[in-house]
A and B are shown apart, each in its own frame.
Chain A
Amino acid sequence: MTAQEVRLCGLLLQEHFGEVVAKVGTHLLKSGAQNLRTIIHETGISLDLVKKSLCVLVQHGTCVFSSGRKAPGSPTEYRTSCDRILRILRYPRYIYTAKTLYGDTGELIIEELLQRGDMTMSSTVKTVADRLTQNMEEGRSMDYSEVSSAFSKLVETHFLQRCPPMAGAGTKDSGTPATPATPAIPESFPDCYRVPHVTLIGRGKRRLSNEDGEDQRNAKKTKMDSETHGDEGIYWQVNFERFHLHFRDQAIISAVANKLDQTSSEIVRTMLRMSEVTTSPTATCTKPLSANEIFRSLPSSYNIPRPILDQYLTLLVDDPMEFVGKAGESGGGMYVVNLHKALANLARATLESVVQERFGSRSARIFRLLLRKRHLEQKQVEDFAMIPAKEAKDMLYTLLSQNLVQLQEIPKTPDYAPSRTFYLYTVNQLPTARMLLQNCYKTVANLIERRLFESKESKRLLEKSQRIEAILASLQASGAEPEQLTEVEEMITAPEKQQLEALRLHINKLDSAENQVDETIFLLESYVNSTATS
């Protein structure tokens, strides 16, 4: 992890879990696995707070613990990783995706799980049903069974997964005190990974039926009370990897739609959906599908006749972006979706557009030229890019100084004499993507800090408006006169209102920017990860 990542993680933790957790978290990030005593000693935070913070981190899956590596009896060690903390940035996108796929129920389920880290199915279903009921009109209510069926759908499609059980969980009934410091062994995680998908334990045990909306408001307080639903100890969490696969597929589909047209994107969508189950998450391309199979699986609403489909497929294969590849001739032609190649191409397009937006279209031309031709001498760059030598030199050197372009020396003689050396310019896509990724992290951290600064600057104003809103709400509840209300409303003067409006605008912009930078981060991250596995 880099300094930028740690900084961003610290800010994210601070925003969501408070200062103390941020301090503990960044400390763990910086110093690796540590035990409780060392953390307390090195951070100088009181025992109680450190314990609580660690609980929060563990609860949200951002921290794993294991009994010491040095000896079997050594104290439990805690470890965090940037990857998981950086996911916080993407929470809105997960929730939104759940909404588009599974409606309001799915949205709330994911939202609750993200807020709490992990929950049992029964408590999730209850809270979500309560929340949905509250938003409904009087007299109507949400059925628990409906929510739980949405929940099981999310599990079926792997968007939710069971938390890996604790190593000592099996023995917990026999004797808890006998197993001191039972750690969740991270090595066993991949095994538990698959378990939740097949088992749908929660569903059969959901025997409680609907309650009235009125009761539920009262029930909110009592819901923590001991009702057993048979799924105690089985906790669920959001499967981020599955969401990422979905995002990746969506990115490919929308790229095809932009590059070619809507129909071809629908074909790619069908191909991706068909191979969703059969393709492993890290595969470089989907399993080969014959044109016949694709034709049969195309939804009839698209109205694509067979000859047109063949034409589209050849078009897709010929496209330089290489989203779709041909794997064979049998069955009317076997086709695959080149997942990793698509990611690489999308990342390349991102790099190109970054260069274009920062250095202008002519610099982007040089950049693209170098990407295509790999190695070029300065003279060749000038010639091929058809840019006057002086300007081309300037642009090339700017790109070089920004590390977007690399220089390779090839000496003719072993003394590296400049007059007898070739200077070849080149672009390395992967390192450049990594660098850009770090820049993105830095950008988001800067955005967050700016937002914190903005809201700190007008803290007094914000507090005032909050207070007045509270007063207004209480007045309205008590049924006050309209004149009274306006009187209170006027406590915020016109310039103050303006200021508040401007502040709201700024903060919205900054927040939105965070969300959108994260899209770039996602693309670059997936590209970098895909090169690691392939």
Chain B
Amino acid sequence: MTLWAGVRAGARGVIWYLKGLLGEDAYEKYVAHHAASCETDTAGLDRAPHPLLTEREFWRDQTDRQDKNPQGRCC
């Protein structure tokens, strides 16, 4: 039972790492960031709260930003 739990925890770790490495968690991070910053945003200041992008919009926006700001890959 504990072995099984260990295997499952290990597999979860591997999946977490792979997703992080490939950048699959980008949307989750964006949502978390948005949720956290909205409180401060709407709490006053001159900034209008910007609406949360949907998952599809977010990924389109992400590759479009890469288009405008290319990153080198090394040799």
Question: Is this pair of chains taken from one and the same complex?
Answer: no
Q: Which residues of A contact B (CB under 8 A)?
A: none
